[in-house]
Amino acid sequence: MRDCHHALAEWLEPLEVKTTIDAAGNLHGLYPGIQAGVPRLLIGSHLDTVPNAGAYDGILGVVLAVALLEELQGKKLPFAIEVLGFSEEEGVRFGTPFIGSRALAGKLGGELLDTRDAQGVSVRSAIENFGLNPEELAQAALGDDTLGYLEFHIEQGPVLEDRKLPLAAVESIAGQSRFEINFSGRANHAGTTPMHLRRDAIAGAAEWIGAAERVAQSTPGLVATVGKIESKPGAANVIAGNARLTLDIRHSSDTIRLRAAEDLNREAQKIASRRRLSVSSKQLLSQRAVELDPFLTGEIEKAIRKTGCEPHRMVSGAGHDAMILAQTIPSAMIFLRTPGGISHDPAESVAVEDVEKAIQCGLHLLNQLANSPDFYNVPHSKG
């Protein structure tokens, strides 16, 4: 992350942009407006990614923010532009996503700071180990001089490719629920324990995974994913006494998402009871669905049309920093086509011509906002 901060600082220095790092490890680079004291528009995305990842998820949005400043060629706008590179969006290390953007929303503290990784290191300690001061987190929170937030991001799915479109305006972000489910039975010898006398935690977990898939397939727009399974004792000749799984549920309707989560938790209890197992469920995340700012989304559609492309609106099934900032300031997103719909994988890619269209779109958008009195009338006080 230090190397990443250093590289971005080098790119921004010729543009007369000084970079700073806040107490949550987020990078900030302020490009001044036409005069001192004008409000600012934030443009950025996240710098972290997942294990065995591709090269574009998150970081492309930060690089595009830098590219837009380069394309301005020193031109100043009625508002300042702040480039943002969030430190921790994916939640890989601590199991809790959006740590960087939560700091800007003023929601990083207390229990979240005490959350620990697999090695027992807390978020608070990780901040200190990086050379930052968690006592200064309040200074990272956004002030009332912030007009809004814009995030470019690869789609991470196949919709735009299927429609043969390079860009889309994101109108909302699906809500997410994450759970850790533990099935507990009794470990025993694989060769000497008859099938009808077994209390196999993995067998119970497998039945429940099938139920999760059936619920998702029968509910339009719902996706449910068991992405991680751990069993103990984990030997080939031993019946599993414990199986721990993760469940990720998403939908654009919070009502549907929460109902599905309740249904699956009840189904886990039924399966456990029938198989003489015990089961427990721990909620790791409940992130409501978020509607992005209608004014900014409409302006993005106009900007896409000016690039010669057909505008398209869509819901994001993936979570983004924009869904955290949207609770505080007007926020918007622009998706870029993802070839093959592949993301979170080394095969993740983006077409150069789509990046060119994204830059054109961004420049049109900045010009529109600079000449729009309505932009300055958008409420931007803290929520």
The two tokens of residue 56 are: 């574009």
Which residue's entry shows tokens 């814009």? Answer: 150
Query: Given pLDDT bands bounded at 50, 70 and 90, which one contains residue 381?
Result: very low
Give the range with max mean pLDDT: 109-113, 240-244, 287-291. 240-244
Do 71 and 359 touch, CB atoms closer than 8 A?
Answer: yes
What confidence tens digit (pLDDT) does each residue in 314-329 have?
999 888 999 999 999 9
Mean pLDDT within 254-276: 97
Binning the chain into helix, strand and coil, the percentages to the nearest 5 are 35, 25, 40
Mean per-residue pLDDT, 86-94: 94
Instruction: Pinpoint the alpha helices (H) of the chain.
Output: 2-12, 59-72, 99-104, 123-129, 159-163, 201-217, 254-274, 294-306, 321-325, 352-370, 373-377
Q: Which long-range contacts (CB under 8 A, 24 or more apart) does 347-353 make?
A: 347/54, 348/53, 348/54, 348/55, 348/56, 348/57, 348/154, 349/54, 349/56, 350/56, 350/60, 350/154, 351/166, 353/166
Q: Binning pLDDT at 50, 70 and 90, where does residue 377 land?
A: low
Tokens coding 263: 């249904």
Q: What distance in Å separates the CA atoms of residue 138 and residue 255, rounded to the nearest whole number?
A: 33
- Please give the model's pTM, rounded to 2 decimal places: 0.83
The answer to whether the CB of 183 falls within 8 A of the CB of 279 is: yes
Question: Which whole number is the average pLDDT over 225-235?
Answer: 95
> What distance, in Å, lies between the first and last C-alpha atoms of the chain?
30
Q: What are phi and psi of 307, to 5 degrees?
A: -80, -5
Asked if pLDDT for residue 378 goes beyond 80, the answer is: no
Q: Give 188's strand partners.
A: 239
Q: What is the pLDDT of residues 156-213, one digit of tens each?
A: 999 999 999 999 999 999 999 999 999 999 999 999 999 999 999 999 999 999 999 9
- Mean pLDDT in the chain? 95
Measured between alpha carbons, how far is 250 from 323 in angstroms, rounded to an integer? 14
Residue indicated by tokens 């789609």: 155
Q: How much of the chain, in percent, has pLDDT values that exceed 70?
A: 98
pLDDT score, position 110: 85
Q: What is residue 380's predicted lDDT score, i.e. its pLDDT? A: 41
Residue 6's φ and ψ, nearest 5 degrees, are: -65, -45
- Reported as a single tens digit per residue, the pLDDT across 113-170 is 999 999 999 999 999 999 999 999 999 999 999 999 999 999 999 999 999 999 999 9
Q: Which domains does the chain have, with CATH numbers?
A: 2-174+289-377 (3.40.630.10), 175-287 (3.30.70.360)
Give the model confidence (pLDDT) of 271-312 as tens digits. Answer: 999 999 999 999 988 889 999 999 999 999 999 999 999 999
